[in-house]
Amino acid sequence: MIFYGWRVVAAAFLVLFTAYGAQYSFGVFFAALLDEFGWSRAGLAGVFSLYAAAYSVFAFPAGRLTDRWGPRAVITVGGVFLGVALAAMAGVTRLWQPYVLYGLVAAIGMGTAYVPCSSTVVKWFARRRGLAVGLAGSGGSVGTFALPPLAQWLVSAVGWRAAYVVFGAAVLATLATVARVMRRDPESMGLHPDGVLEPPTAVLPGVGLGVALRAPALWLLGIALTATWIPVFVPLVHLVSLARDLGHGPATGAWLVSALGAGAVAGRLTMGPISDRVGRKPALVFGTAAQAAAFYAYAHVASVPGLAAATIAFGYSYGAVSTLFPAAVADFFGRSAAGAIVGFLFMSAGSMAAWGPLAAGAMYDAYGSYAPAFQLSAACNLIAALVIGVTRMPRR
């Protein structure tokens, strides 16, 4: 019989595929809402900024509850919040309503995706932890690539209101169904990580969040993750505009976004297993340094091949870092409170990602170019690489 941990990986893949695919379909509905109501772009874009910050904050209690209750209950409840919020968006008529429904209610649901899935997968694996997290996390990148075109087809076929209802119902049904496969850890089923035929321990190895908070390594990881996540959404938001400013057509910007998603899938699938061999720290240093190089390239390239190379490099490094982070937490602090610790870091560092696109837009307005924003983004990632390089494994 196949080791049950791989079923958990497959379930996490589907949860992240659905949740992140729905998240990045926001741009499709964004255009439809602007056409319908004539709201300002800044006013409507603020909905996504609130959402990005809020779901990072909600990930912390979701991680703690996953350690306590297991992922089945947490992801199922999150699926209800996310699905109901998306379906309810079909009835909006005032700008404040998307702020409540999408910016807050949907954010609660989305907060139960990344942290519960990644922290559960790392509990099921030890020797092949990087491979398992990479496979599971690639679901988010594949969903980002696959679901927005489906959303566009639905909006064109039945209108944005009906499309929101269909999306909401599909998200709720998928997450509630897939979550039934998830189990908190192998020990709860009398099994052992990686399917090793050894008697499972009664208590998972590792330290609690309170002990981890007293370790310098946790705060150094938090600083590094904050530095690399502040600018992480800048290309996702501004890449199409950058291509247009450089004289390239809208089709170029669209396929560059797809290339970013493809690069992220490759980064997740390759750097996870590589980190199992070379170690998580060297792999994270490489990922953040590669991200710095990609941002630096964005500030200087102008041709389509140059933009494509920078985009693929950014996608690859972005996928690598987001995959390696929860695996590194489990390496450093053990499996017992992985959900709480990953959730804490995601709340404190991940929520800062909401400011990157806003800052990049402000810099463009001030200087008439994205170059300063991309150069500052490169510097942030160099700081992250240096901090990770000096971080030492804490003594248990």
For every residue of 120-136, DSSP letters joined together read: HHHHH-STTHHHHHHHH
Q: Are residues 338 and 388 in the same domain?
A: yes
Q: Are residues 110 and 95 in the same domain?
A: yes
pLDDT at 71: 92
pLDDT at 199: 55
Q: Are residues 51 and 178 in the same domain?
A: yes
Q: Are residues 219 and 112 in the same domain?
A: no
Nearest to 341 by CA among 325, 328, 329, 324: 329
As a whole number of angstroms, the distance between CA 308 and CA 335 comes to: 39
**262, 145 Cβ separation under 8 angstroms:** yes
Q: Are residues 43 and 88 in the same domain?
A: yes
Nearest to 380 by CA among 225, 219, 234, 227: 227
Helices within the chain (DSSP H only): 4-23, 26-37, 41-69, 71-88, 96-100, 107-110, 114-124, 129-158, 160-178, 209-212, 216-229, 234-245, 250-278, 280-298, 304-333, 338-345, 355-367, 371-390
pLDDT at 100: 95
pLDDT at 198: 59
Q: Are residues 152 and 279 in the same domain?
A: no
**140, 128 Cβ separation under 8 angstroms:** no
As a whole number of angstroms, the distance between CA 12 and CA 38 comes to: 38
Which residue among 161, 185, 204 closes a domain?
A: 204
Type of residue at 253? G
Angstrom CA distances, 94 to 77, 155, 176, 224, stand at: 27, 20, 30, 39
- Count of all residues that appear for the chain in the document: 396
Q: Are residues 88 and 123 in the same domain?
A: yes
Q: Are residues 294 and 181 in the same domain?
A: no
pLDDT at 254: 67
Which residue among 182, 204, 226 closes a domain?
A: 204
Q: Are residues 89 and 237 in the same domain?
A: no
368 CB-near residues (< 8 Å, 6+ apart):
none
Nearest to 167 by CA among 221, 102, 123, 218: 102
Which residue among 204, 235, 270 closes a domain?
A: 204
366 CB-near residues (< 8 Å, 6+ apart):
none
Nearest to 324 by CA among 353, 296, 288: 288
Q: Are residues 7 and 154 in the same domain?
A: yes
Give pLDDT tens digits along the chain (396 positions): 468 888 999 999 999 999 988 887 887 787 788 888 988 767 887 888 888 888 888 988 998 899 888 899 999 999 999 999 999 999 999 999 999 999 999 999 999 988 899 889 988 888 888 888 889 988 988 887 788 888 888 888 999 999 999 999 999 999 999 999 998 888 878 877 876 665 555 455 667 788 888 888 889 999 999 999 999 888 877 787 788 788 887 677 767 877 888 888 899 889 988 988 998 899 999 999 999 999 999 999 989 899 999 999 999 999 999 888 888 888 888 877 778 888 888 888 877 887 888 788 888 888 888 899 999 999 999 999 999 999 887 765
Cβ-based burial of 223 (10 A; exposed 0-12, middle 13-18, buried ≥19): middle
CA angle 276, 135, 115 (to 5 degrees): 90
Total of domains in the chain: 2
Question: Which position has the token pair 């190895």?
Answer: 205
As a whole number of angstroms, the distance between CA 387 and CA 330 comes to: 18
Q: Are residues 249 and 177 in the same domain?
A: no
Dihedral sign for Cα atoms in the order 143, 144, 149, 152: positive
pLDDT at 47: 85
What range defines the domain where residue 323 resides? 207-396
Q: Are residues 118 and 158 in the same domain?
A: yes
pLDDT at 378: 96
For every residue of 100-115, DSSP letters joined together read: HIIIIIIHHHHTTTHH
- Looking up residue 299, the CATH number of its domain turns out to be 1.20.1250.20
pLDDT at 2: 64
